[in-house]
Amino acid sequence: DAKTTQPTSMDCAEGRAANLPCNHSTISGNEYVYWYRQIHSQGPQYIIHGLKNNETNEMASLIITEDRKSSTLILPHATLRDTAVYYCIVSETGTASKLTFGTGTRLQVTL
């Protein structure tokens, strides 16, 4: 079973920031928080991951609470192409570590 809970769906206006929350209250010390997204009928795409510090890359920012029990993915300027299902996953690092996908958040970006 997935160790994360996310809202089922969210809407965001194009050009605004999209803030996607994730709860992972049972995360263990050696587990990272990963975010992937899946555009309809495509394979998932890696977005970002972090352990305890906030992270930023060209796609998004990841804010992890100090107790690591929750996190927020931020898309600073959402576009229509960001419409997708966003998955928050906790997993150990290591090339053979499995990813357990939950139900994710369906983000709809609108004009």
Partner 1 sequence: GAVVSQHPSWVICKSGTSVKIECRSLDFQATTMFWYRQFPKQSLMLMATSNEGSKATYEQGVEKDKFLINHASLTLSTLTVTSAHPEDSSFYICSATRARSNNEQFFGPGTRLTVL
Member of 45, 56, 79, 110 binding partner 1 (CB under 8 A): 45
The answer to whether residue 5 forms part of the interface with partner 1 (CB under 8 A) is: no
**By the rule CB under 8 A, 104 interacts with partner 1:** yes
For residues 35-45, one letter each, b for 16 or more C-beta atoms within 10 angstroms of the residue's C-beta and e for the rest, the string is bbbbeeeeebe
Does 19 contact partner 1 by CB under 8 A? no
DSSP readout, 1-16? --S-B--SEEEEETTS
Check binding of 44 to partner 1 (CB under 8 A): yes
Contact status: 7 vs partner 1 (CB under 8 A): no
Which window, 39-47, 52-60, 64-72, 76-84, contacts partner 1 (CB under 8 A)? 39-47
Dihedral sign, Cα of residue 57, residue 66, residue 88, residue 33: positive
